[in-house]
Amino acid sequence: MSGYEDLDESEIRNSLQRHVDMSEYESQVYLALVQTGKQSMRDLSETSGVPKQRVYDIVEELREQGFVELDDSYPKKAYAVDPTKTLGPIQTHVEQVQDALEEFHKSVSDVDSGVAQFRNRSTIEKYITELVDSAERTIFLMTSIDRLRIVEDALRNHSDVQIRVVLTGLDEGHVVDDRIELNSPIREFADYVRGTVRSEPLVLSVDRSAGFFWPTADSPRQRPREGFYVTDEDLSFLFDRFLSDTVWPLGYPVNPEQRRSTSLPQRYYRIRDCLADLEVLTDSVPLRTLTVRFEGYNNVSGEQITRDGRLAGFYASEFDDRAYLEVDLVEGDSGTTRTVTVGGWHSRREDFMATSIELEKHEDWSAEELDDETLDHIEACRRELPAEIDAGDAIVGFDGYIDYIRSLVGERKSPRMYDEINEFDTLREMVTRASAQDKTLQFEWVESKRLPGGHTAHVGQVLDTVGYDAQLVGFFGQPIREEFSEVFEEDNLLSLGPPTVTEYLQFGDGKMLFTDSGGHQALNWETLREYVPLETLANRLDGSDIVSIGGWALIPEISTIWEGIYEQVFPRLSSPPNDIVVCTSDVDHLTETTLRSDLESLGILDDAIPVTVVTTSEQAAHLGDVLLSGEQGKRALQATAESLRNEIGVSRFAVTSAKESVLVGPEGSQRIRSALISDPAEEGTFEDHFSAGIALGRAESLSDTSTLALGSAVASYFKQHQETPSLSEIRTFLDTYEDQGAA
């Protein structure tokens, strides 16, 4: 028997909190679902005793951890995943750790030298302090707060040593929303700190070459047990590996708001520390602007090495023990570049194992200056972009939005006078405060204007403004709403139904969009042909310079449209379009099966008409997770775009982000940094406007270099002015691209 058969509900909840790291509310909700089965949020609040306003968040947290799932009913109902599936892996992991530690204990007992045993407390404390004093590079310590005081002074003396601490035996009251709030000065001398409510022995690893193990007393009355001083390097490394791979991931961050700043240059002795900082750094700087210098060993030859190169990507997962960097190394006098993998200490599957890693910004990168590659692309676009556009033909579809631009009233002073809530953070604080106080928030908003939005409107406006005759196919209303007819009064508009309405709340530091589902989901090849006969569709496409398609994620059967164009329209064309530009939008909302089917159809369409896929860095990362088996992790935009273009089988693949954009095509891989906008009218990546620039470049048969520069210029112009640029304004922007951020 396991010994758990007679546990009551209270003991089960306590066990879930102690051993599975559930909060009190999480254990109540989970146990209620296990006992009672599928329940709505209202019912679950009653059966679990958890306040209704917290149940939604708790269910979502349990869902992210794999304990709970939601059905597709309305209102949604939650149900518990089979406990054997969720708790079984945890039990297996504990058994594996126990087996490893038993083997480790056997190893200690078999070592004649390299392990010293001490029973006297003062002697134990003396050797622990001396061991900390001897550190040259790194200290990893797991200890209770009481025992931390033994070495606090010694730790404070090591400002040049990387210090990582796990605090044990903490009170459960210190755990707040998956973090630990502690009134302690530990962040003054430790670089990384986590904590746990579990009682654990003191384990110390210094420079991975020496360690100390000091068990806790079994009871308050019992004297502390003997301590073991380990100088055997293999055993010391096991100490360090046990702390970093087994203990650390289960701890909560301690006082995370006091975390040290992630600044460069920075040296690391554990690769996961490096990867944690890269997750933060690469949100603000492009991967390829970082240089990696590492010391260690060649895993093939065993040679001790020191190498440096450009960062190309990185990989880390909570679900396996692999963690590595991808680094572009320049080989020999030929200057050829080779991408290698760099793992941590004792890694064997990568090309190199690193004992230390240093990150710094590349010498040619500056937040205030554009690189030579970008300036060359801009100059090429200036030369190639014509001074005037001959009226060409463009077809744009298939979405249709109306954006109701609104602002929130903060304080109304009179019927016509009020203060706006201008900062998104202000709204976030108000919501958080109301939730904590169990209050209902009520807002007043005012509408400032209504604008046509979405891919079709944005791309159509750009092409129309520079001189193209645009045929727009989308959801504009029946009859066509004036928001579209007034903007596109000289263009052909074919409406497939009512537009999607978006409530658009704009702040100085962000925005919120509330969108209804609209009628896009009903669109497929058959319904499109009901509005546009096959012969008419073929006539419209024949001789068109460019086709631009958006709304992908809104149209579950969009692949039928691509297949229809390939099978039924293309054979009728004598002069096909130069290119079909397809903007992905939020394809992470699609199921993997649907996404793969769409991409397969898109690759087939490219056999007839060249296809350029345009996406954001976030959506490219999602596509990579779905398509690039074995290549998961964060990678440079160029490497990601190259792999995705090859995998999907399209002519060109473009990715844009706030900092840079890339285009991969027959002419190779191109990269450009975004214009340095000092005072943007709106924040964001502006995928549709980037797509518009790409579409214009392809329609005008510009080189890939100039097409990429044009896409970046159009998006950057809109970011600065929140207006659609004319051709002369695009040219002026290109002329001053490098000066946009100047004061």
Structure token digits, residue 194: 């986590």
**Per-residue pLDDT reduced to its tens digit, 594-637:** 999 999 999 999 999 999 999 998 899 899 888 886 545 667 78
Residue 35 has pLDDT above 50, yes or no: yes
The band of 366, judged by pLDDT with boundaries at 50, 70 and 90, is low
Q: What is the pLDDT of residues 195-247, one digit of tens each?
A: 999 999 999 999 988 999 999 765 454 555 688 999 888 888 888 888 887 88
Residues forming CATH 3.30.870.10 domain(s) in the chain: 115-258
Q: Which CATH class is domain 9-103?
A: mainly alpha
Q: What CATH number labels 115-258?
A: 3.30.870.10
57-80 per-residue burial string, b: 16 or more CB within 10 A, e: under 16: ebbebbeeeebbeeeeeeeebbeb
Residue by residue, DSSP assigns 155-200 as HHT-TTSEEEEEEES--GGGEETTEE----SGGGT-SEEEE-SS--
Tens of pLDDT, residue by residue over 273-331, are 888 888 878 777 777 788 999 999 999 999 999 999 988 888 876 555 678 898 989 87
pLDDT at 665 over 90: yes
Confidence (pLDDT) at 469: 94
CATH 1.10.10.10 boundaries in the chain: 9-103
Any residues with CB less than 8 A from the CB of 369 and at least 6 apart, and which?
Answer: 738
Confidence band for 110, pLDDT divided at 50, 70 and 90: very low
Say whether pLDDT at 700 is over 60.
Answer: yes
Residue 1 pLDDT greater than 50, yes or no: no
**Confidence at 702, pLDDT banded by 50, 70, 90:** very high
The CA distance from 362 to 339, in Å, is: 17
pLDDT at position 258 is: 65
Alpha carbons 457 and 551: distance in angstroms, whole number: 11
Looking at the chain, the domain(s) classified CATH 3.40.1190.20 span 370-400+454-475+541-742
Residue 722 predicted with pLDDT over 50? yes
Q: What's the confidence (pLDDT) of residue 490?
A: 87
Q: Is the pLDDT of residue 716 over 60?
A: yes
Give the pLDDT band of residue 3 (cuts 50, 70, 90).
very low
Least confident of 441-445, 570-574, 674-678: 674-678
What is the amino acid identity at position 663? L
Residue type, 466: V
Lowest mean pLDDT among 186-200, 265-279, 513-527, 673-687: 673-687
Residue linked to tokens 């059905």: 71
Q: What is the mean pLDDT of the chain?
A: 85
Q: What is the pLDDT of residue 382?
A: 95
**Could you tell me which of 269, 314, 322 has the C-alpha nearest to residue 295?**
269
Q: Give the C-alpha separation, 245 to 322, whole Å.
A: 11
Half-sphere exposure of residue 463: CA atoms within 13 angstroms, side-chain side: 35
Domain 370-400+454-475+541-742 CATH assignment equals 3.30.1280.10: no
All CATH 2.30.30.690 domain ranges of the chain, comma separated, are: 266-361
Query: What percent of the chain has pLDDT above 90?
Result: 44
The hierarchical CATH code for the domain 266-361 is: 2.30.30.690
pLDDT band at residue 517, thresholds of 50, 70 and 90?
A: low
Q: How confident is the model at residue 104 (pLDDT cuts 50, 70, 90)?
A: very low
Residue range 650-657: mean pLDDT, rounded: 96
The pTM of the whole model exceeds 0.75: no
| pLDDT recorded at residue 651 | 98
